């Protein structure tokens, strides 16, 4: 039925030269159906690269264009803020500026928006702040200490994970207390921790990430009239990446798609009234997902949400999108082969008309650095061949793998950026600055206050802080109140003055928090508190860099002010709290992108390097014990593979450093699942294993029956006595870059100069580009091939 020719459809008019409908242009029949279908609930099962974003945006645009919905009646949930911005833009491009008023955002952003409006009904104040995981852990740490919980084997991260899991299941303290086995002392202790943590958050007028969703659900359930406001408002709800929703998010969607209040009453008596009035109708729901790409079980994502969609939402329709528009057949064959090893999945095979394309390139390095050098060299080759840096991405399983990559990339003068990872916002000086901002935005928060109380040094030590806290506790007041009344505590005159001065500063700035620009607030706080002055006056050379980071933060607030002229400090803090790793991706940056496999979801690149394809890394060691762990790791690998459009590189290392120790690594089991003819090994595991040479090429050349013969021999080699990595490899990367950055000063090179590199040996300079500290030498080494080096820091000398 989807292929019936429709003469009224401008997109496929017979003569072909009539105006094309931007809504349906270029879509296959399935995609079209997904755009045009109307009904209470629709599940679009969209394989990787099947154009789901396009379908989703056109579906929204269609609703608007036909006047089936006003922009304000649409709620679209995306996985990242970046995806939201992109979707908004693309809808706008089709229907014009009417896109305003739509809610296109992440679950968390949407919930904050709702909570800021409604939370006063709930006993919170609407200037609540958001605790990120580091904040939650800081709070838990205090609690665990108070309770001597380490005696019970409870750690901060264990408690944090457990609490997060409970909240994702919408279990609150009372709910947990009901079901917990309280004869178990550890459980009892945990309950106490959970209780204090919850109280700590509410005392601080703060929500953690999980609360944002959970409390919104509780709010809707406790106040049906508030829920009805949103149920009436949103007539079309669309959710992307539905396979990664957890129970709390699922419940939120359920609440929002319920018919508004009066209907609800009738439904409770067993009769569902249909279409009695527009006002009473439930919102239509469209979800898009792919259970093969579910990779967030560890944070509560429940694959059942998508598997059981048809049961949960009666009268629903399912549309399958299997044609892939992104990758070559070679890449898809590899992806299909890998994912087919997962059981209990609906069989689904991606296909394309693009053609086979290049083979997948495999490489085995002696070490993580060797592997990184391969990646850098290949990227340079691609770039020389006309590939832009921004079309290349490097993926890895764990953030710690960035170190080796960065070291090599810096030396090779490859422009790169790391998405996520140790973020700017996690630096101490940045958290300090935020401490000041939060202290002003939300005076109830003791965490922020403690952070800045003695930063810069004011002579307010732990003892004084404890005295203030005790004073506050005994009067059921906040720490901030105690500071204001410090004169009553009988502390020394110097300390008392320091405390009162700080309290006054915060109070004075707080008075303008509603009106002043975030940038001005921050500047005033940093200036008057003496924070920047202290950094600048410091002897510690690192403090200079810290001061620069603080300056950068000021620049960020100014930028925010420019983009949001009406934006308050609270708006700024909210936005910053909710940025995702992939959000700071600037497409115009012209750099290679480095990110974890998780961050890579939803993105695509011409050339993809998937590194560290080793046992214990991918699949990760930690996943082995968890039920469904290895299968989820396989999906992660699958997600990585399917990000690639044209070229895919799989690399691994024979040895991997971790905890400052070098361990033997073995090829990942997933490598064997890829048909051998799809991979061309530049250096196979077998080759790398043999003593620095390539004599075991035979191992690599023939796979023949059974497949995995090389893997078996490899394992054998790896298990037995392991390759004291070839001497060459050892010297090649030993202490490649030390903590102190090498500085060649004003060393200048010109074409024709002979140089000596500590790792690559002697070579001749081909040419020099760039100037000043950014000069790059293109060097032809006698034995190591051609490399590009950042002259200022490369370990080289002129001969």
Partner DNA sequence: GGTCCGTATTTTTTT
Partner DNA sequence: AATACGGACC
Q: Which residues of 381-400 are buried (b: 16+ CB within 10 A; e: fewer)?
A: ebbeeebebbbbbbbbbebb
d(CA 205, CA 519): 24
d(CA 132, CA 164): 12
Residue choice 165, 658, 713, 758 for contact with DNA (CB under 7 A): 658
Residue choice 18, 72, 125, 133 for contact with DNA (CB under 7 A): 133
Nearer to DNA, 88 or 108 (CB): 108
Site for DNA in 457-486 (CB under 7 A): 457-464
Stretch that binds DNA, among 555-563, 656-664, 743-751, 785-793 (CB under 7 A): 656-664
Nearer to DNA, 702 or 730 (CB): 730
Residue choice 13, 155, 342, 485 for contact with DNA (CB under 7 A): 155
**Is 241 an active-site residue?**
yes
Provide the minimum distance between the beta carbon of 464 and DNA in the complex, in angstroms, as a whole number. Answer: 4
Stretch that binds DNA, among 50-58, 549-557, 653-661, 747-755 (CB under 7 A): 653-661
Active-site residue among 59, 397, 451, 643?
643
Provide the minimum distance between the beta carbon of 782 and DNA in the complex, in angstroms, as a whole number. Answer: 30
d(CA 195, CA 173): 6
How large is the C-alpha radius of gyration of the chain?
A: 29
598 contacts DNA (rule: CB under 7 A): yes
Task: Classify residue 421 by its DSSP letter.
Answer: S
Give the tokens for residue 70: 């006003």
**Is 587 an active-site residue?**
no
581 contacts DNA (rule: CB under 7 A): yes
Give the tokens for residue 308: 């059981």
Beta bridge partners of 289: 45
Number of residues counted as binding DNA (CB under 7 A): 50
Provide the minimum distance between the beta carbon of 16 and DNA in the complex, in angstroms, as a whole number. Answer: 44
Residue choice 106, 327, 568, 593 for contact with DNA (CB under 7 A): 106
Residue choice 198, 229, 264, 400 for contact with DNA (CB under 7 A): 400
Site for DNA in 722-751 (CB under 7 A): 735, 739
| Cis peptide, bond prior to residue 437, ω within 30 of zero | no
**Is 406 an active-site residue?**
no
Residue choice 420, 443, 612, 640 for contact with DNA (CB under 7 A): 420
Provide the minimum distance between the beta carbon of 301 and DNA in the complex, in angstroms, as a whole number. Answer: 10
d(CA 429, CA 425): 9
Provide the minimum distance between the beta carbon of 183 and DNA in the complex, in angstroms, as a whole number. Answer: 28
For residue 782, how many C-alpha atoms fall within 13 Å in the half-sphere facing its CB? 8
Nearer to DNA, 3 or 157 (CB): 157
Q: In terms of C-beta density within 10 A (0-12 exposed, 13-18 middle, 19 or more buried), how is residue 321 classed?
A: buried
251 contacts DNA (rule: CB under 7 A): no
Length of the chain: 799
The annotation places the binding site at: 46-53
Q: Quick one: how far is CA 96 from the chain centroid?
A: 31
Stretch that binds DNA, among 60-68, 307-315, 329-337, 654-662 (CB under 7 A): 654-662
Close Cβ partners of 354 (under 8 Å, ≥ 6 residues apart): 325, 327, 328, 329
**Is 293 an active-site residue?**
yes
The annotation places the binding site for ATP at: 46-53
Provide the minimum distance between the beta carbon of 715 and DNA in the complex, in angstroms, as a whole number. Answer: 22
CB atoms within 10 A of CB 174: 9
Site for DNA in 483-522 (CB under 7 A): 495
211 within 8 A of 274, measured Cβ to Cβ: no
626 contacts DNA (rule: CB under 7 A): yes
Nearest partner of 313 among 262, 367, 385, 239, judged by Cα: 239
**Is 695 an active-site residue?**
no
What is the β-pairing status of strands 41-46 and 284-289?
parallel
For residue 395, how many C-alpha atoms fall within 13 Å in the half-sphere facing its CB? 29
Provide the minimum distance between the beta carbon of 76 and DNA in the complex, in angstroms, as a whole number. Answer: 15
d(CA 112, CA 90): 24
Binding residues vs DNA (CB under 7 A) = 80, 106-108, 132-133, 141, 145, 155, 157, 164, 209-210, 295-296, 298-299, 397-400, 420, 428, 454, 457-464, 495, 578, 580-582, 596, 598-599, 620-623, 626, 658-660, 735, 739
Residues that are catalytic: 52-53, 240-241, 293, 643
């Amino acid at each position: 039925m989807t292929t019936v020719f429709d003469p009224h459809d401008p997109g496929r008019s017979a003569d072909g030269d009539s105006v094309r409908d931007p809504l349906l242009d270029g879509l296959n029949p399935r995609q079209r159906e997904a755009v045009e279908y109307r009904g209470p609930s629709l599940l679009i099962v969209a394989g990787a690269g099947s154009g789901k974003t396009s379908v989703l945006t056109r579906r929204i645009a269609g609703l608007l264009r036909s006047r089936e919905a006003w922009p304000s009646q649409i709620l679209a949930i995306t996985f990242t803020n970046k995806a939201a911005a992109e979707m908004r833009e693309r809808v706008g491009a089709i229907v014009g500026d009417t896109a305003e008023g739509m809610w296109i955002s992440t679950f968390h952003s949407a919930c904050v928006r709702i909570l800021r409006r409604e939370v006063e009904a709930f006993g919170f104040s609407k200037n609540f702040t958001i605790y990120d995981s580091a904040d939650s852990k800081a709070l838990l740490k205090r609690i665990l200490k108070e309770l001597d919980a380490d005696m019970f084997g409870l750690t901060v991260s264990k408690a944090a994970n457990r609490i997060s899991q409970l909240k994702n299941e919408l279990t609150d303290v009372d709910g947990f207390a009901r079901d917990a086995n309280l004869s178990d002392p550890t459980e009892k202790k945990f309950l106490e921790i959970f209780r204090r943590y919850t109280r700590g958050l509410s005392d601080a007028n703060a929500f953690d990430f999980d609360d944002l969703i959970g409390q919104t659900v509780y709010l809707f359930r406790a106040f049906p009239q508030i829920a009805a406001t949103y149920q009436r408002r949103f007539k079309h709800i669309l959710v992307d990446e539905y396979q990664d929703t957890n129970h709390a998010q699922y419940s939120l969607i359920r609440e929002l798609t319920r018919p508004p209040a009066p209907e609800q009453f009738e439904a409770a008596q067993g009769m569902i009234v249909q279409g009695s009035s527009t006002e009473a109708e439930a919102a239509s729901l469209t979800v898009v997902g792919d259970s093969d790409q579910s990779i967030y079980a560890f944070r509560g994502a429940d694959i059942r949400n998508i598997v059981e969609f048809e049961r949960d939402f009666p009268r629903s329709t399912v549309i399958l999108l299997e044609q892939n528009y992104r990758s070559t057949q070679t890449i898809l064959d590899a992806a299909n082969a890998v994912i087919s090893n997962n059981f209990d999945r609906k069989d689904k095979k991606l296909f394309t008309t693009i053609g086979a394309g290049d083979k997948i390139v495999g490489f085995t390095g002696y070490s993580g650095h060797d592997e990184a050098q391969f990646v850098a060299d290949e990227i340079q080759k691609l770039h020389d061949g006309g590939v832009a840096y921004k079309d290349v991405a490097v993926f890895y399983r764990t953030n710690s793998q960035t170190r080796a990559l960065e070291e090599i990339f810096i030396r090779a003068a490859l422009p790169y950026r790391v998405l996520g990872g140790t973020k700017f916002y996690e630096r101490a000086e940045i958290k300090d600055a935020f401490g000041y901002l939060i202290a002003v935005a939300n005076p109830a928060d003791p965490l922020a206050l403690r952070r800045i109380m003695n930063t810069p040094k004011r002579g307010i030590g732990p003892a004084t802080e404890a005295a203030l806290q005790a004073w506050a506790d005994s009067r059921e007041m906040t720490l901030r109140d105690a500071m204001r009344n410090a004169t009553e505590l009988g502390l020394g005159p110097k300390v008392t003055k320091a405390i009162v001065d700080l309290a006054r500063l915060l109070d004075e700035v707080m008075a303008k928090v509603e009106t002043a620009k975030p940038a001005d607030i921050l500047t005033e706080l940093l200036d008057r508190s003496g924070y920047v002055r202290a950094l600048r006056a410091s002897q510690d050379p690192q403090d200079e860099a810290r001061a620069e980071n603080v300056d950068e933060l000021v620049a960020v607030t100014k930028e925010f002010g420019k983009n949001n002229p009406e934006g308050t400090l609270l708006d700024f803090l909210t936005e910053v709290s909710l940025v995702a790793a992939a959000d700071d991706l600037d497409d115009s940056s012209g750099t290679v992108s480095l990110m974890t496999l998780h961050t890579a979801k939803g993105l695509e690149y011409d050339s993809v390097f998937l590194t560290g394809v080793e046992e214990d890394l991918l699949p990760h060691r930690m996943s082995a014990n968890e039920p469904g762990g290895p299968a989820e790791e396989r999906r992660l690998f699958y997600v990585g593979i399917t990000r690639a459009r044209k070229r895919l590189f799989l690399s691994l290392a024979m040895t991997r450093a971790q905890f400052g120790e070098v361990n033997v690594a073995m090829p990942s089991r997933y490598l064997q699942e890829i048909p051998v003819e799809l991979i061309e090994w530049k250096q196979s595991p077998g080759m790398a294993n043999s003593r620095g040479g390539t004599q075991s090429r035979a191992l690599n050349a023939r796979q023949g029956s059974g497949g995995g013969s090389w893997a078996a021999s490899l394992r054998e080699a790896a298990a037995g006595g392991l390759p004291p990595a070839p001497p060459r490899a050892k010297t090649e990367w030993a202490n490649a870059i030390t903590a102190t950055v090498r500085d060649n000063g004003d060393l200048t090179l010109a074409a024709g100069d002979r140089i000596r590199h500590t790792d690559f040996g002697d070579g001749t300079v081909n040419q020099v580009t760039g100037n000043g500290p950014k000069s790059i030498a293109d060097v032809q080494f006698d034995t190591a091939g051609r490399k590009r080096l950042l002259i200022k820091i490369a370990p080289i000398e002129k001969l």
